[in-house]
Structure 1
Amino acid sequence: MIAQATPVSDLRPRDVAAVAGRIVSIRVEPRDAAPTLTARVDDGTGRVEAIFMGRRAIAGIEPGARIRLEGRVCSTDALPCMYNPRFELG
């Protein structure tokens, strides 16, 4: 079971956190690049990217789906992100 959700607006780099929201977009790296699936999740306070290395598809991860993520928050210039987070759909 994933811990209590933290608002995206309160995420801090290097913390382990849980986030719940709706997937607003997905991006898959081209065939000639290393397999990577990125899901952008919005919880109403902000957006976070869940980056799944080594995957081009995961059943149920699609725009509009509700998801809960748990992982270490990384800081980027654009959005906070989590690499290979634990997740629950629904």
Structure 2
Amino acid sequence: MPTAGYLKRLTRRLTEDLGDVDAERIAEESKATGAQRASDCTRGEEVTMHGELRAVETCSRTAKAGVKAEFFDGSDIVMLKWLGRNRIAGIEPGRKVTVRGRLALQDGHKVIYNPYYELQGSDDE
């Protein structure tokens, strides 16, 4: 009975936490690209991950110049830090990106310094 299955999926979508739905969607996209899951990566590994930028911050003070972005792949958060840059075109919240670099830990949080990145098409395109 296909109607029961449809109603079950619809009820699940209406009652699920939006953050969980979003994380599930991002995780499925990441898995489809063959990228590594951030939650499975450990310090010192060379990683390639696919996900979304949730927040981007620029700091133009001379001693701490750089761009910081919160990257989320549906399994964990990784901070991306580009040192010595005031702005990077295309690095903006909501943008899908594939990143590659060596994973480090800073204050117990995962971080990649100066990652290589590939911007993916935006949702509008």
Shift of 1:31: 2.7
- Matched with 1:81 is 111
Moved more, 59-68 or 4-13: 4-13
Shift of 1:33: 3.2
Of structures 1 and 2, the one with the larger relative CO (CA 8 A, separation 6+) is 1
Please give the secondary structure, in 2, of the residue aligned with 1:9: helix
Q: Does 2:56 match 1:26?
A: yes
Q: What runs of 5+ residues in structure 2 fail to find an aligned partner?
A: 1-32, 121-125
Secondary structure of the residue aligned to 2:39 is: helix
Match of 2:74 among 44, 48, 52: 44
Aligned CA RMSD, in angstroms, stands at: 1.6
More strand by percentage: 1
After TM superposition, the score normalised by the length of structure 2 is: 0.65
In 2, are the aligned partners of 1:50 and 1:82 still within 8 Å (CA)? yes
Structure 1, gaps ≥5 residues long? none
- Maintained 8 Å contact 2:60/2:86: no
Alignment coverage as a number of residue pairs: 88
Distance between the aligned counterparts of 1:41 and 1:15, measured in 2? 17
| Structure whose alpha-carbon radius of gyration is higher | 2
Q: Distance in 1 between matches of 2:98 and 2:54?
A: 13
